Chain A
Amino acid sequence: MNNSLTIQGVKKVYLHSDTAALDGVDLTIPGGCAFGLIGPNGAGKSTLIRLLLGLLKPDAGQITVAGFDLATALPAARKLCGLAPQDPGFFPLLTVAENLRTFGAAAGLRGRALNQAVDSAVASTELGEHANKRADQLSGGMRQRLNVSLALLGHPPVLLLDEPTAGVDAESRKLIIDVLRGENARGATIIYTSHYLTEVEQLCDRVALIDHGKLRFEGKLRDALHHAARLLVVQLTDEPGTTIRERWQSRWPDAVIGPQSLQLETESALSVLATLERDGVTVRSIEYGTSSLEAAYFHMRSTAASADQA
């Protein structure tokens, strides 16, 4: 089965809102990949997750999950998906095992298959010693583990996880990432949103940046990191004059020129610095060659903001 997801021209405007939560997003998530959705709060990531599950209907565009069009075959598409939402959705007065059994039954599992699914979910998230504890008595980390284990019930081929490690201790975070890696290794497609970019780096092989409802970047993680590795960020002591700014803009069309900063991708930082020296500009600090997703993230956002202004 091809567990890919396609999003074509999807637009969503919430009631009583002037701006689009998602504005013409086109995206293809290949089957079996671990896909990181990154972006600031309110960018549209959770909206996209909800649209992918049919919890929201798009105002325009088409979404398919494993070939099933959500507009016409929502139940079939949902059958393939597991969700770990931002706010864990479980019954607080039931124990961990009872929650898993109840939702397992809702997923259509019965008898031995249900027992196996519950045992497997408990084991993979290491909730064994908490299996008979009420959900409302679990710690924050354990609650998120239960949240993830509910998504894993029956090993669905598509897993959507919306910030599943928010407010979770390092141990539980590592465990959740390891579990998801395991599911990905089994062939599951994973869509993962998080503000912890190091986690996205650890888990995902593709990333997309969404900002202000628009897709700003989509591609392989290593491409994003490659961008970051070539990123030069220069802080200046004084504001450059208009002539100099125009000269820089024509020389480096993709550069983001701030009041006292310059940001651009380059293979040769030295030649850029030499140009600045020739232009009589004093450099306060330089940052170059940081191959982290975080650096790439800020660069992509700055570039997007600059493009919007232009």
Chain B
Amino acid sequence: MSARFALLRALMHKEIRGLIRDPQGLLVLFLMPTIFILVMSLALRDVMGTHQASQQQVLWSDADGGYFALELRHRLERSDHLRIVDAPADEAGFAPPYFGRVDVAAGLAERLAPDNREPLVQVRLDPAFPVAGSSLFITELKGVLIGLRAEYITEDLFGAPEAEAALIRESTRPEAVPVQVVYPGSELRSETLPDATQQSVPAWIVFAMFFVVFPLSTSLLGERREGTLQRLALLNASHQSVLLAKLPVYLTVTVIQALLMLAMGVWIVPLLGGEALQLGGRWLALLPITIATGAAAMGVALLIAVLARTSAQATTVGGAVNLVLGALGGVMVPTIVMPPELQLAGLLSPMSWALDGYWDIILRHAPVSDTLPECLALLVLGTATFLIATWRLRQDFA
């Protein structure tokens, strides 16, 4: 066994003992990400999910009471995420928990006439309600109103007898206008729709993995502060060994963190009423992208830890870098809804590469080989940042 390998082994033992003998630190290291993923999964369930509990409530006031007004309400009530509640007679406004109020004035049938320019109904919405939710509601409302207007026009023009009128009515309902939606890969599993959990949990896992910068910088800066780096330098220990010894230990920690978070998504989140993460038993398929993501996170974290002079610097810079990479990489907001410039910038974020790799496996059900470009990019980044970090640490050892 060469002296260099003996040193590496001794330093790795040191890292492992340091982790094991700090039970509070270890608890935080593994507990925090799992709590994080649990909270995020449950919180996002109501914002982005299709879960029953995510039904939004709207107040409904019907001063018309005719066929079209009743049909409007009836068709809207078929929506999974909408719950319509009658407005109290003495109440003209609305307040949370209702996100808005719909007022159908008398004479809706007349207003459905094609030459009418008056609003068909009045909708008031809480400005604090998410825009995506408001847009979805307005779109649905307009869709139903268009169907009703088509029905009105057809009857008006052709005076269709009851049988034809019923046929027209049925054929203009949304569910009678089928559109085939296919999610590539969905044929490989029983579920057909990707939900919020499948999309957001991988994003938060990737985000959490990059926070390895905190324990890593604490470890390295502690060694610098306590003078152990100086003593190692005096003993002619190589600066590469110091960082290399941390690599497998913290990489293992990061991978275990990711696996714990996946396990939370698969088994614990559904127990608490959230959507289960569907891996379809593809745990092993996730390993390459998880290790590559861990390697990239390690490289970035080591670089920040080596450049920082204090723990405060490392945590501030590390946190800020992670937030920027996360925002650009589509962790908070999917890159697909970003402006083109930001989408382009997002391609530079390793979190977007990692996320794409996770989605390849979890959502697109692609073979592992499809994640190789992402894995390669992440490993190149990890190697490059590691080399820069070792080059920078050399100054402490000079």
Contacts and interface: CB of A to CB of B under 8 A. Distances in A.
A90 interface: yes
Contact of A55 (B11, B14, B233, B236): B233
Contacts of A106: 7, 10-11, 231-232, 235-237
Contacts of A88: 227
A121 to B, nearest CB: 14
Contacts of B9: 105
Contacts of B234: 53, 55, 78, 81, 83
B7 A89 contact: no
A250 B226 CA distance: 54
Contacts of B14: 91, 94, 98, 102
Contacts of B223: 91
B189 interface: no
B205 to A, nearest CB: 29
Interface in B224-273: 226-237
A241 B63 CA distance: 114
A75 interface: yes
A85 interface: yes
Interface in B1-40: 1, 3, 6-7, 9-11, 13-14, 17-18, 21-22
B18 A102 contact: no
B126 to A, nearest CB: 53
B202 to A, nearest CB: 34
Contacts of B229: 89
Contacts, number: 76
Nearest to B231: A89
A80 to B, nearest CB: 11
A134 B14 CA distance: 12
A93 B231 contact: no
A110 interface: yes
A81 B230 CA distance: 13
A175 interface: no
Contacts of B235: 78, 103, 106-108
Interface in A90-114: 90-94, 98, 101-103, 105-108, 110
B21 A75 contact: no
Nearest to B10: A105
A89 B226 contact: yes
A53 B397 CA distance: 11
Contact of B10 (A92, A102, A134): A102
A273 B239 CA distance: 64
A200 interface: no
A134 to B, nearest CB: 7
B6 A89 contact: no
B237 A92 contact: no
Nearest to B25: A93
A59 interface: no
Contacts of A93: 17-18, 21-22
**Main secondary structure on B side of the interface with A:** helix
A79 interface: yes
A103 B232 CA distance: 7
A150 interface: yes
Contacts of A92: 226
B386 to A, nearest CB: 21
A98 B21 CA distance: 13
A66 B232 CA distance: 21
Nearest to A82: B234
Contacts of A101: 10
Contacts of A85: 227, 230-231
A150 B236 contact: no
Contacts of A98: 13-14, 17
A87 interface: yes
A87 B10 contact: no
A110 B1 contact: yes
B237 to A, nearest CB: 4
Nearest to B228: A89
A132 to B, nearest CB: 12
Interface string B196-240: 000000000000000000000000000100111111111111000
A94 B18 contact: yes
B233 A105 contact: no
Given A78-B236, A85-B230, A106-B235, A94 B7 contact: no
A55 B231 contact: no
Contact of B228 (A78, A90, A105, A134): A90
Nearest to B222: A92
B231 A103 contact: yes
A88 to B, nearest CB: 7
B6 A91 contact: no
Nearest to B242: A106
Contacts of B231: 83, 85, 89-90, 103, 106, 150
B26 to A, nearest CB: 12
A308 to B, nearest CB: 33
A92 B14 CA distance: 10
B258 to A, nearest CB: 25
Given A89-B230, A90-B226, A102-B11, A110 B236 contact: no
A288 B250 CA distance: 66
Contacts of B398: 54
B12 to A, nearest CB: 10
Contacts of A108: 3, 7, 235-236
A14 to B, nearest CB: 16
Contacts of A79: 236
Interface of B: 1, 3, 6-7, 9-11, 13-14, 17-18, 21-22, 223, 226-237, 398
Given A106-B7, A106-B237, 12 more contacts: A55-B233, A78-B234, A79-B236, A87-B226, A89-B227, A91-B223, A91-B228, A92-B226, A94-B14, A102-B13, A108-B3, A134-B21
Interface of A: 53-55, 75, 78-79, 81, 83, 85, 87-94, 98, 101-103, 105-108, 110, 134, 150
Closest 4 CB pairs of A and B: A89-B227, A105-B10, A106-B237, A89-B231
13 contacts: A85-B227, A90-B231, A93-B21, A94-B14, A98-B14, A98-B17, A103-B231, A103-B232, A106-B231, A106-B235, A107-B235, A110-B1, A110-B6
